[in-house]
Chains A and B, each alone.
Chain A
Amino acid sequence: MREGLADDAALLARLRTGDTRAFEELVTTYQHRLFGVALRMLGSRAEAEEIAQETFLRAHRALGEFRGEARLGTWLYAIASRLCLNRLAAASRRHEAPDETALHQQPAEGADAAAVMEQRELQAALHDAVAALPEERRIVVVLRDLEGLAYEEIAEVLGLPLNTVRSRLHRARLDLKAKLERWLP
């Protein structure tokens, strides 16, 4: 993750005093990452915003219980991941149409129309492939390849043994490769 431990400690100390600005700083710092995880897991921007907001509110309530053993970011990812998985597991989940923009790639600069079209199709295929992954594999690949968490952090976030994380990540990547085969050279 991108924040240092010293930054975390300083921010946490301010959060514990009830510093409103500190909490705003926390939300500003992590909003896009948590929203991103929720978006890739749920496929809906509305649901992703709901989950990201709930993550921050739960963190706000539980700040007193956070002992600072994990990094703030790890803790927030853990809350968000749990909320996403719970939402996916809930039978009452609203079946909203996934947003086509859930995964975006930057088109290469100077690409011609055909290349842009192909790029868009590839994006759609990638989006579909990620969305089709089993949830327990999807969350691992999202945290690793889209959010850049280390294996150890993912294990901590999801409460899984390191080997399980490795195994699920590898299976997820193989699944994706199989689905994207026709787009690969």
Chain B
Amino acid sequence: MSERVAVQDVGKTYRLGKVTVTALAGVSLAVTAGEFLAIAGPSGSGKTTLLNLIGCLDAPTSGTIAIDGEAIGGLSAGRRADLRARKLGFVFQTFNLIPVLTAWENVEYPLLLQRRRGDVAAKVRAALEHVGLADRARHRPPELSGGQQQRVAIARALVTEPALVLADEPTANLDSRTGHEIVELMRRLNRERGTTFVFSTHDPRIVQAADRVLEISDGRLQS
């Protein structure tokens, strides 16, 4: 199987006043296409930083990251934005839907960003059907439950058929039953559509669903 993500000896430090904080140190990992990978660890362990780096939202202090063989170091902010639009899908802990747009429009947004020609409506409909929310298409986020909002967010992440979906603690703001449903949904989409998922969590029950689990603590992967 081909390599979706290659992280090579990546480190990330922040300056907090006069103190330098090491968020990640010497992290290397590879994600293969179609994988359902969990990154587990307590809060503050560096999970979000790692996902942000893989997601081209942030640049590493050292090391290299490549997505589908394309090195992302040294790309301008604009090019990184294009790469995110083209290859990545995001699911956030706090859902992060645009509140003034309906579920349909939220899912439509990344397609319009790519200026995709062809049947945008069919893609949006299919994505909402996949997450079981076709009947909620005209609702705006405040009219949806947390679980429904997260499912819309998953539909939004998947609608562009990205190479990789990054989900940062996607269940942390949901009750355990809904959280479980969300993970099941992601797992099903991973199996049915072969979408690669990398998600972070500190919930041991959710970790069980993953193909592979990488433990992280104090900015280092545990072998």
The judgment on whether A and B are partners is no
